Chain A
Amino acid sequence: MKRRRIKLDLDALRKGGILKQRQKDYFILRTRIPGGRLDADLLPRFMMIAKKYGKGYVHLSTRQCIEIAWIHIEDLDKAIKELKRAGIARGACGPRSRNIVACPGSSVCRFGFSDTEKFAVKLDKKFFGKDVPKKFKIAVSGCMNSCSKPQENDIGFLAQGEPEVDLDKCISCTLCAKVCEEVCSRGKREPAIIMDGKKRPVYRKENCFFEGDCVRICPVSAWKIKRTGYAVFLGGKIGRFPMLGYKVAEFVQENDVHAIINKTIELYRAIAKKGERFGDAINRTGIEEARKKVL
């Protein structure tokens, strides 16, 4: 069968997450799943579209998105409409902010300090698909284990918890000091918890990584989380020349995150050359300058 020639505005398509394949006339539909949280009812719809228009499989991207390849140019319009009807959100490519990734977070994970999935979904509504010089990636992690890799995103949020101890409950088991010493020695710091002469824990906040090991280990719940917030990382990226983001703030509250992302995108637009990643741009203009601008 002879196919019709169709004219397409590739740039407009890229805006909505349509990527040209290496094979002539074939495209990949990139969808997005904010925070990696996918309603089970949506799954069969992905399969249906992949079977009907693609080759019966999907690709799981590293940004928690599902991509459906092998969409022929003549089916593109129909497939896109079907995605929309199915309630599947489209992804982004080109110079835009991307899907916001998250770990499972405190709703199920015993390490998480914050409901990262929920937070990512909120951030998606405000910050997905913004025009930027190159690309802009946001990640949210519920704890220092960094499962969603906030340090390798243009802006990353890592939840942290500050502990405090109720000495009346303490049974002097020393387990808190033991786990603290382990994490601090890996992090090349003196322990944040040491035991005094009466085998009572003494907390030295300046050494704390705020990862919460003492709270989890304490057999009598003498250690509690006093406050939580997010550490903020700027300028992380992987690509051809990887770098981890700079930590610019700690214990930022959820309510303040919107303003920080807004200012970061503004700064990125202002300082970056076309095609330059945020990390490379702040390496030219200075991280201190960037910190002052976004906080």
Chain B
Amino acid sequence: MDLKGVPCPMNFVKVKLKLETMDSGEKLEIVLDDGEPVKNVSVSLKDEGHRMLKVERSGECWKVLVEKK
């Protein structure tokens, strides 16, 4: 899921809606901008109880791999 250029909190809302269509244990990779987007979205996903498998720098952006709760 490419969320480059999508500002907070819409980026998180989009991830949340996507996760709702998925089954528990399924994985989703998202691409986020540096700065507030990677910080806010990672924290929000953690706070909602999803498992964060990977958060890594990828050029100007960040790749996040999350496993649905």
- Chain A: residues with CB nearer than 8 A to chain B? 171-175, 178-179, 216-221
A179 near B52 with CB under 8 A, answer: no
Q: Tell whether, in the assembled complex, residue A174 and residue B57 are in contact, meaning their CB atoms are under 8 Å apart.
A: yes
Complex Cα distance A171/B64, Å? Answer: 11
- Mask, B3-45, CB within 8 Å of A = 1, is 0000000000000000000000000000000000011001101
Q: Does the CB pair B38–A175 fall under 8 Å?
A: yes
* CB contact under 8 A between A171 and B39, given known A219-B45, A219-B46, A221-B46: no
Of A172, A174, A178, A219, which one neighbours B52 at CB under 8 angstroms? A219
Residues of A within 8 Å of B45, CB to CB, are 219
How far does the Cβ of A11 sit from chain B's closest Cβ, in whole Å?
Answer: 54
What are 26 inter-chain pairs, A to B, with CB distance below 8 A? A171-B52, A171-B53, A171-B54, A171-B55, A172-B56, A173-B42, A173-B54, A173-B55, A173-B56, A174-B57, A175-B38, A175-B39, A175-B42, A175-B55, A179-B39, A216-B43, A217-B39, A217-B42, A217-B43, A219-B43, A219-B45, A219-B52, A219-B55, A219-B64, A220-B46, A221-B46
Bound complex: CA of A219 vs CA of B46, how far in Å? Answer: 6
Interface size range on B against A: 10 to 19
How near does chain A come to B10, taking the closest CB pair, in angstroms?
20
Q: How far is the CB of A72 from chain B (nearest CB, A)?
A: 52
CB nearest to A172 among chain B residues: B56
Min Cβ gap A172→B in Å is 8
Query: Shortest Cβ distance from B48 into chain A, in angstroms?
Result: 12
Chain A: CB-nearest residue to B56: A173
A219 & B42 in contact (Cβ 8 Å cutoff): yes
Chain A proximity of B57: nearest CB distance (Å): 7
A173 and B65 CA atoms in complex are apart in Å by 11
Task: Identify the closest chain A residue to B47 (Cβ).
Answer: A110
For the complex of A and B, list the 5 residue pairs with the smallest distance between their C-beta atoms, beginning with the closest: A173-B55, A219-B52, A219-B42, A219-B46, A219-B55
Give the distance in Å from the alpha carbon of A259 to the alpha carbon of B27 in the complex.
54
**Residues of chain A lying within 8 A (CB to CB) of residue B39:** 175, 178-179, 217
Query: How many angstroms between the C-alpha atoms of A2 and B4 in the bound complex?
Result: 76
Residues of B contacting A173 in the complex (Cβ-Cβ under 8 angstroms): 42, 54-56
B51 to chain A, nearest CB (A): 8
Residues of A within 8 A of B38 (CB): 175
Chain A residue contacts of B55, Cβ below 8 A:
171, 173, 175, 219
Bound Cα distance from A173 to B38, whole angstroms = 11
Query: With the chains together, A126 CA to B25 CA distance in Å?
Result: 53
Instruction: Please indicate the chain B residues that have their CB under 8 angstroms from the CB of A220 in the complex.
Output: 46, 52
Which residues of A have CB within 8 Å of B52? 171, 219-220
User: Known pairs A175-B39, A216-B43, A219-B46. 18 more at Cβ < 8 A?
Assistant: A171-B52, A171-B53, A171-B55, A173-B42, A173-B54, A173-B55, A173-B56, A174-B57, A175-B42, A178-B39, A217-B39, A217-B42, A217-B43, A219-B45, A219-B52, A219-B64, A220-B46, A221-B46
A67 CB to closest chain B CB (Å) equals: 38
Which chain B positions have C-beta within 8 A of A179?
Answer: 39
Complex-state Cα separation, A228 to B64, whole angstroms: 31
C-alpha spacing A179/B39, complex, angstroms: 9
Q: Give min CB distance, B21 to chain A, whole Å.
A: 22
Nearest CB of B to A220, in Å: 5
Residues of B within 8 A of A174 (CB): 57
